[in-house]
Amino acid sequence: MPAIPKDSSLIPITFFTKSEYYQDLIKRISQTSSGDRVSLTTMSFDPRVPEVNNLLKELYAAAKRGVNTSLAVDAYTFLLNHNKTPTSFWLTKNLPRRLSLVLQTRLNSLKELEACGGSYSILNKPGRRFGNPFAGRSHIKCAVINEYVYLGGCNLTTPKDIDLMIGIEDKNTANWLFELTNKIHRNSSTKFAMQNIDQEFQIDNKTTLLVDSGKSKQSVIFDTALKLIDHAQKSILITCQFFPNAITTKHLIKAHKRGVEVNVIYNRPGKHVPPYNVLHQFVVWREKLRTPGDLFKGQLSKKHPFIHAKLIATDQGAIIGSHNFISAGVIFGTAEIALIRRDPSFAKEAIACINHALEANKLA
């Protein structure tokens, strides 16, 4: 979707679906030259996906022609097998010498980037054996290409998910985020790079970039999202791969009771792989015992692909990023990224984009 600034003082923001994000990202990387910079950060990636493979090829080519090229993935990518069972990485604290074919393909793709002159890092490797694989991970999804910034919910995986990214062309924002992600890449750790301090960067007078450091029970993004819900006067739309239970639900219920129209869009439990399908089913069942039925009308049908977009849009503004807006990740300690713009027109654009993606995927 085109970036249409509603206020001349605001920096334009472009919305991308996941497939559009791949197309634009690949195009921008292909146009870089020696001395330029390309930095990508993701939780997971799958080089077997054609779009991801094409992206990697552009990264390799960019590195070969002298572009400062880096790719960081979270260790979570190597902690679990395709069937969600733990690998020996979880047991030994070191990357296993023998990996499954899928995991070896991922590692080989990273090594190929290094061989071409770029760099890679595996973030947040286990600090101890038998640790919680969810604790301390980096859930950040962003990219910096020269003065252009992308951020949102998209991992480097299948483009079939319903997901959103946003793009901003701004030198100051790009410099700030590149410095931060470059520090994370060098340290191979969000914890050491950010020292447990959540970060904020003011882009313009209504727009703020937020980054959670991953400290347990601390999240500037979650706090900001809850305030956005609390300040809504007319409407709230929230999209999440899970029904946003516990603390988030309490805030949504309060909004509903004061007359705000609340629309929660989430996956039906059967869309999740085992055992998360059972866990999600239990969460939905439990919440239905204490939550107004209107809040469950947005459960997607079987016809829809998996929704992975993380968006809260109200009549006051919108927040979008990698955070699921639930407390579980905050309790574990998860590094996240998000952007909030306190502008109703931005929220309307976000809603239009997600509605278009939902309808297009339903009809596909």
Pairing outcome for strands 68-74 and 37-42? parallel
Q: Whose CA is closest to 73, among 26, 143, 17?
A: 143
What one-character DSSP code corresponds to residue 122? E
Supply 145's token pair. 């290409």
Supply 93's token pair. 């604290």
Identify the bridge partners of residue 73 per DSSP, sorted by sequence position: 42, 122
Q: What string of pLDDT tens digits covers the 364 residues of the chain? A: 545 445 668 999 999 999 999 999 999 999 999 999 999 999 999 999 999 999 999 999 999 999 999 999 998 888 776 656 667 676 666 777 778 888 899 999 999 999 999 999 999 887 666 667 677 899 999 999 999 999 999 999 999 999 999 999 999 999 999 999 999 999 999 989 999 999 999 999 999 999 999 999 999 999 999 999 999 999 999 999 999 989 999 999 999 999 999 999 999 999 998 888 999 999 999 999 999 999 999 999 988 999 999 999 999 999 999 999 999 999 999 999 999 999 999 999 999 999 988 887 765 5
Return the beta strands (E) in 82-163 as ranges.
119-123, 142-145, 148-152
Q: Whose CA is closest to 140, among 102, 174, 186, 189?
A: 189
What is the model's pTM?
A: 0.94
| CA angle at 221 for the pair 216 and 223, rounded to the nearest 5° | 85
Decide: 145 and 170 in contact? Cβ < 8 Å: no
